[in-house]
Amino acid sequence: MSNGNSDKKGIIKAMFIALIATLAGLAVLGWQYRQIENKRLPALEEKLEEQRIAMEEREARDILDAFMTSRIEGDEVQATLYLTERAVEQKETGSFEMMDNFLGFKVLNSQKISEEEFCFTVSVYKEGVGEILEIITMKKILDSYYIDSVKRAG
């Protein structure tokens, strides 16, 4: 009988060792998973932030395109809808020409200035003059971008 009793003790001992080994394996795998996620999470957050900025820039760029198209078409009323109060003041003081035989434009550069602002360098083609450069700052107000400043480069 002692042989059967020692077999039971051996089986229980083996099961206990297997249980400890399993728990240790789960702990190691859990630790490795957390390490992998801790490395991956910042990379995913960075990609999401890059995508958010790209979408914001695209939204600002679409408004800029609509503004410039209105200027080229000579539609001052429509172009004025894209301006902030500051830009309207610039227009009224003659800081930039709203309408003046524009033939086309090309966005040369864009830069995110702050959480709510982008700055674009725009090459504007003007009849009889050629190319002029404008620095156009756009500001997000509520959920839309508006032209906040138009300055001639140089």
Beta 130-141 vs 117-126: how paired, if at all?
Answer: antiparallel
Quick one: pLDDT at residue 3?
66
If you average pLDDT over residues 53-67, what whole number do you get?
94
DSSP SS3 for 54? helix
pLDDT at 126 over 90: no
Quick one: pLDDT at residue 13?
85
Range of the domain at 18: 2-152
Quick one: pLDDT at residue 89?
94
pLDDT classification of 51: cutoffs 50, 70, 90: very high
If you average pLDDT over residues 80-94, what whole number do you get?
93
Read off the amino acid at residue 115: E
Q: How many independent structural domains does the chain possess?
A: 1
- Compute the half-sphere exposure of residue 19: CA atoms within 13 Å on the CB side of its CA: 6
The pTM of this model reads: 0.72
Q: 7 or 74: whose pLDDT is higher?
A: 74
Looking at the DSSP bridge assignments, the partners of residue 121 are: 109, 135
Output the domain CATH number for residue 63.
3.10.450.50
Residue with tokens 């756009």: 138
For 98, the enclosing helix (H) or strand (E) is: none
Instruction: Enumerate residues 6+ apart whose C-beta is below 8 A from 67.
Output: 79, 82, 83, 147
